[in-house]
């Protein structure tokens, strides 16, 4: 689609706060990618041990599961920064810019509130696992506070990115929903 008006990455302008949050979210994306790569390598090692050496595996399956879940949670702020989450823009496109900004502010504020509640309970869950010394019911018997740490870290970073996105829309550094006004006229007229 030529002339698409939806930008792929949240704008940061000259704001130190927005640039810092963007750097943190990008780093989280790299960490997430590293976890996925590590999970793939562990899976390959597990296959080699089981089918080539005819040995048994103890920790590999559990480690891969924890790594993939952690990668998903830690990668959330990076996906939010890239506007990669599912987005239906029919209503925002139909609204004039002023109402679109209002809808974006409400949407981001409600999203941040929901993630803040999830962060609260995620932290509480992690803390209980840490304080009570919970361990998995497997042979590996991993201390569960370690994989559960992905809950407060991932949700905390997502909350930080949502707050940055909200701030960027409020100070007009970023367009609501990433939809620029000048590209909208072409889309409505059917040029896109």
Cβ-proximal residues to 73 (8 Å cutoff; 6+ apart), any chain: 150, 151, 153, 154, 155
Domain membership flag for residue 3: no
- Helix%, strand%, coil% for the chain, nearest 5: 70, 0, 25
- For 15-36, the pLDDT digits (tens) are 899 999 999 999 999 999 999 9
Domain-embedded: residue 7:
no
Q: What are phi and psi of 139, to 5 degrees?
A: -60, -35
6 in a domain, yes or no? no
Q: What is the pLDDT of residue 91?
A: 84
In this predicted structure, what is the pLDDT of residue 181? 63
60-81 vs 150-170: helix axis angle to the nearest 10?
10
165 lies in some domain = yes
Query: Would you state the pLDDT for residue 7?
Result: 56
CB 130 within 8 A of CB 145: yes
Separation CA 184–CA 92 (nearest Å): 10
End-to-end CA distance of the chain: 6
Residue 4, domain member (yes or no): no
The number of folded domains in the chain is 1
Nearest Cα to Cα of residue 93 among 186, 172, 191: 186
pLDDT of residue 30: 98
Q: 77-92 in b/e burial notation, b at 16+ Cβ within 10 A?
A: bbbbbebeeeeeeeeb
Residue 1: pLDDT above 50? no
Q: Is residue 9 part of a domain?
A: no
Residue ranges making up the domain that contains 42:
16-189
Per-residue pLDDT of 135-183, as tens digits, reads: 999 989 999 999 999 999 999 999 999 999 999 999 999 888 888 765 4
Of how many residues is the chain composed? 192
List, for residues 135-146, the tens digit of each pLDDT value: 999 989 999 999
In this structure, is residue 164 part of a structural domain? yes
Whole-structure pTM value: 0.85
In this structure, the dihedral spanned by the alpha carbons of residues 61, 63, 68 and 71, taken in order and rounded to 10 degrees, is: -170
Closest listed residue to residue 48, CA positions, set 32, 40, 191: 40
Token pair belonging to 184: 């909208």
Contact (CB, 8 A) for 80 and 107: no
Segment 40-97, tens digit of pLDDT: 999 999 999 999 999 989 899 999 999 999 999 999 999 999 988 777 788 888 888 8
Mean pLDDT confidence for 97-124: 95
Residue 154 falls inside a structural domain: yes
CB 72, CB 157: distance < 8 Å: no
Distance, CA of 144 to CA of 148 (rounded, Å): 6
**Position 4 confidence tier, pLDDT thresholds 50, 70, 90:** very low
């Amino acid at each position: 689609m030529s002339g698409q008006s939806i930008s792929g990455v949240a704008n940061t302008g000259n704001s130190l706060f927005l640039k810092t949050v963007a750097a943190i979210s990008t780093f989280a994306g790299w960490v997430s990618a590293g976890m996925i790569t590590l999970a793939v390598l562990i899976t390959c090692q597990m296959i080699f041990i089981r089918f080539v050496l005819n040995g048994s595996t103890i920790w590999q399956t559990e480690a891969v599961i924890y790594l993939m879940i952690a990668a998903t949670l830690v990668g959330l702020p990076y996906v939010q920064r890239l506007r990669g989450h599912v987005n239906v823009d029919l209503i925002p496109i139909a609204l004039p810019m002023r109402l679109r900004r209002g809808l974006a502010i409400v949407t981001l504020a409600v999203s941040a509130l929901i993630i803040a509640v999830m962060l609260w309970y995620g932290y509480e869950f992690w803390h209980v696992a840490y304080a009570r010394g919970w361990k998995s019911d497997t042979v590996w018997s991993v201390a569960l506070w370690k994989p559960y740490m992905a809950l407060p870290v991932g949700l905390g970073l997502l909350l930080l990115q949502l707050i940055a996105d909200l701030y960027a829309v409020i100070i007009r550094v970023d367009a609501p929903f990433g939809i620029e006004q000048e590209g909208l006229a072409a889309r409505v007229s059917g040029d896109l």
